[in-house]
Amino acid sequence: MEQPTPTIEFHLTAHDDEHVAVYSGTSAQQASTEVVDGVTGLLRELPRGWLLYLHGVEPLAHPRWRELVDTAVTAGHGLALDSRGTLPLSRYAALGEAAGPALRRLLVRLNLIEVGRFSDFIERVVAIRGRLQEHAEVIVTAPLLEETFADLRRFESLCDEAEVPFRYELLVEGGNLARYSPEVERHIRGRVLHDAGDLRVIRPLVYVRETQTAAYAASAALPIIPDSCPACFTAPTQRAHMKTLLAREEQEHPHLFANLLHAMRPLMGDPH
């Protein structure tokens, strides 16, 4: 089985990082400088082959974006970035020149409020792609919401016609984004038809919280297996990390899971 590329995710924007300053007890500018310095230092110490993912409002507008890119390239790491696609085309050309083959992916985020005609936005994305090297994958992404689902489906069809990859994102309260690929859409539906068309798979508990099933199992004295995945018995997993993260976020945002369900509901319906 192919192993995933180890990744560093770094939130980089043109604005000073105020929340870092609060916890560090320093000025916002000093905190931002120290964090960027720490990331560049870490990139130099890590073995070759990591992926630096720069995300945020517009990482390429940050005054030190070029330094981070140069450091990652020199240290033998790959790169992935977010962008709104609104910067001058010369900035994307500079990114392509600086990153070269190290640039694996550019995620261009669609904002339905800011975008006028979908066709103009897609033409812009194609122009951006032309400023990068051929191996760099340019993907358009957009938050998946029930109220905008019809517009996004129309936009997706236009992307298909222009051969521009499009991916949905599941919006999580607090600004965190869990990336979603259409290839896994069939795996989160409550009911799906097998590829051969002769078997329908149903998931009757798809809308039930794990806390509810755990409470029922305890009250009914059912045997409980802490983790049914054999590969998860010996080491901490990403699943465990996400459970801890979501539990912590739910304490701050009580409606977190309701919002998640609201965002995912268009994908969980039965297409057949």
- DSSP string over 93-136: HHHHHHHGGGEEEEEEEP-TTT---HHHHHHHHHHHHHHS-TTS
Distance CA 50, CA 47 (A): 7
Residue 59: per-residue pLDDT: 87
- Chain-centre distance for alpha carbon 155: 19
Distance CA 45, CA 77 (A): 11
Range with the poorest average pLDDT among 113-122, 148-157, 179-188, 201-210:
179-188
Residue 216: per-residue pLDDT: 85
Strands 137-144 and 166-171: parallel
For residue 204, with 0-12 CB atoms within 10 Å meaning exposed, 13-18 middle and 19 or more buried, which class applies?
exposed
Q: Whole-number mean pLDDT of the chain?
A: 75
Residue 74: per-residue pLDDT: 95
pLDDT exceeds cutoff 60 at 251: yes
- Contact call for residues 266 and 146 (beta carbons, < 8 A): yes
The residue-averaged pLDDT of 242-252 equals: 77
pLDDT exceeds cutoff 90 at 109: no
Q: Name the range with the highest mean pLDDT among 11-15, 46-50, 140-144, 169-173.
A: 46-50
Residue 201: per-residue pLDDT: 74
**pLDDT-derived band at 223, boundaries 50, 70, 90:** confident
pLDDT tens digits, 167-183: 877 644 333 434 444 44
Residue 164: per-residue pLDDT: 92
